[in-house]
Structure 1
Amino acid sequence: MNLHGIRAIYLFEMARMKRTVMQSVLSPVISTCLYFVVFGSAIGSRMGDINSISYGAYIIPGLVMLTLLMQSISNAAFGIYMPRFSGTIYEVLSAPVSYLEVVVGYVGAAATKSTILGLIILITARFFVDYAILHPLWMLSFLVLTSVTFSLFGFIIGIWADGFEKLQIVPMMIVTPLVFLGGTFYSIDMLPEVWQTISLFNPVVYLISGFRWAFYGVSDVHVGISVAMTLVFLAICVGIVSWIFRTGYRLRT
């Protein structure tokens, strides 16, 4: 494996984070802080506990997951789209690096940025809400696994998109509604039975549920199912990326 090639792509993408700190770090952190203020402090103080957990603390895993998913997709999609847009993708494809190394470089950088951002938000949440992490290693594992999975998904979107508008369609029109309806601000056990069943078809439910279990030991679905569903989605993304490079879809034209 060409580690020098992976390192070059990885460091180039990480350097972009330093150049756009306001957009890539401060903006999502400030947005999430507003959620903490409104839902955690203002509304949460007037709501009862959920599963013996204060409302402000209960929504923390969901809010972190919301930011994590959006930023993972955005970072990876933009990272691969810009070389396609500017034409420098051909230099990458002609370099002595394999397709696997290209994916590891771009996706690894996007996942790293998202993981760092998730940890920053967790630290920031301490200023607004008291919370505990019952299983810190599991929490970190879910954080990294979700970042990698949705960075791969974002990588696919960045190759599929043929304009800046399409980069935003999937995150805004599909992912965001799924996150808000996936138990970010509530437990699906609070819903009528028919809507509980419908919610189980939302893949984000399993992500948020597993992540919340790592914090408080409570979840809407079994943690094993959450891990399995995440790995299945990861496998699907890996398969699609493999097909893209094997066929040259939107890379060679």
Structure 2
Amino acid sequence: MSFNGYGVWAIYRFEMARALRTVWQSIVTPVITTALYFVVFGSAIGSRMTEIDGTAYGAFIVPGLIMLSLFTQSIFNASFGIYFPKFTGTIYEMLSAPVSPLEIVLGYVGAAATKSVVLGLIILATAAFFVPLQILHPMAMLAMLVLIAVTFSLFGFIIGVWAQSFEQLQFIPMLIVTPLTFLGGSFYSIDMLPPVWRTITLFNPVVYLISGFRWTFFGQGDVSLVWSLVATGGFLLTCLGVIAWIFRTGYRLKT
């Protein structure tokens, strides 16, 4: 069967239109939240902290803030996008349409990743109003932004298929991903931790993603850039494998 670009575009356009109908929730709320983070962490706490690895604290937390929003929004957009057809029953029409599993994933994940990347760039622009920013590797930063957005959108797609209620949609992002992000060096360097806790923190996969993204800003991170790319690529391949299994078995799609 030939590639159904029209089907991919139809899913993508529908998901993007949904984001435009909820601009306040999709764009405005995260920007306001980012501004509040800078007021609390950048001003209140940052004024009492010295530089971290030669970087002003306000600038140091920018990559972590972007990643915090990117993780949660990528998961939410992709999970809700595929869960809603399940909830309404229209998923069966999609599965019977001349659209392959790859095209379905491209449509939903592509739209979720696009929204997350746009949001990340908006947050970056918002941060520039609060702190002076200098990105040493802008092209690498954009590449990492897209890579991580796609990876977590795939993860969100899996959650949307797995979830059987709106409460379950929020379970993993709120109780697992967000705490791991806060404990993954979003607002501090893990080198500031005692040796024992630093070793424990290295088992947190989010550390490698945030560290790699921070490297694109300042040329240094908590862990090696190679390990950051390996961790991100490994997570991406794992998500692709799980999604392939979902469509092969029909797990919670056809039952």
User: TM-score normalized by structure 1?
Assistant: 0.99
From 43, 46, 49, the counterpart of 2:45: 43
C-alpha contact 1:203 1:229 (8 A) present in aligned 2: yes
State the aligned residue count: 253
From 188, 193, 196, the counterpart of 2:195: 193
- Partner in structure 2 of residue 24 of structure 1: 26
Measure the CA separation in 2 of the matches of 1:196 and 1:152: 29
- Secondary structure at the aligned position of 1:31 is classed as helix
- Secondary structure at the aligned position of 2:129 is classed as coil
- Partner in structure 2 of residue 78 of structure 1: 80
1:151 and 2:153 aligned: yes
Measure the CA separation in 2 of the matches of 1:30 and 1:83: 30
**Within 5 A, what are the aligned runs for 1:4-153?**
4-153=6-155
- 1:240 counterpart letter in structure 2: V
Which segment is superposed worse, 147-156 or 22-31? 22-31
C-alpha contact 1:41 1:128 (8 A) present in aligned 2: no
- 2:228 counterpart letter in structure 1: S
RMSD (Å) for aligned C-alpha atoms: 0.6
TM-superposed deviation, 1:93:
0.6
- Partner in structure 2 of residue 164 of structure 1: 166
User: TM-score normalized by structure 2?
Assistant: 0.98
- 1:117 counterpart letter in structure 2: L
Measure the CA separation in 2 of the matches of 1:148 and 1:104: 10
- 1:154 counterpart letter in structure 2: G
Runs of at least 5 residues in structure 2 that lack an aligned partner in the other structure: none
TM-superposed deviation, 1:42:
2.3
- Secondary structure at the aligned position of 1:252 is classed as coil
Question: Deviation digits for residues 61-99 of structure 1, max 9, x if unmatched?
Answer: 001000000000000000000000000111111110100
- Partner in structure 1 of residue 243 of structure 2: 241
Question: Deviation digits for residues 27-74 of structure 1, max 9, x if unmatched?
Answer: 111111110111112221221000010000000000100000000000
- Secondary structure at the aligned position of 2:70 is classed as helix
**Which consecutive aligned stretches of 4+ in structure 1 deviate over 4 angstroms post-superposition?**
none
State the identity %: 68
- Secondary structure at the aligned position of 2:185 is classed as coil
TM-superposed deviation, 1:221:
0.5
Runs of at least 5 residues in structure 1 that lack an aligned partner in the other structure: none
